Structure 1
Amino acid sequence: MHKLYHKVDTKTFLLQGELLDKMKNELIPVIARKTYLMSASMRTALIVNEQAKNLLIYYKRITYDSE
């Protein structure tokens, strides 16, 4: 019999049997994908933010250099 103690907000639940297998086979891959997508979104946001800063610097330089 599989047992897993799962702690959520100071409550402990005992998961066993089919529920544990379902969590391993269904929920864990979903959580992994969501975590990966969130981290990918954060990386993209940081890249876009950095590109926006570089564009501002570039346009300021062009504007002030042309005057």
Structure 2
Amino acid sequence: MKIVIDVSNEKKAKSLIDILKDIPYVKSIKIEPEKKEKKPDFESIFGIWKDRSITLEDIRKNRGGK
């Protein structure tokens, strides 16, 4: 059986880990760093059409005339 515990305080998390290590039936403790959510960088696409000469008609042609 696996149990996942999310702890917000690093100092208290270390104390909890020490307690768990002393329990004889705890086979292993795996510590994973918290994953930070990466928000999409909307500004990274700014200027993708810069220096490109394209018209709405060109786009329509490339889509098969739809």
Q: Same fold (TM over 0.5)?
A: no
Higher Rg of the two aligned structures: 2
Larger proportion of helix: 1
Q: Which has the higher contact order (CA 8 A, sep 6+)?
A: 1
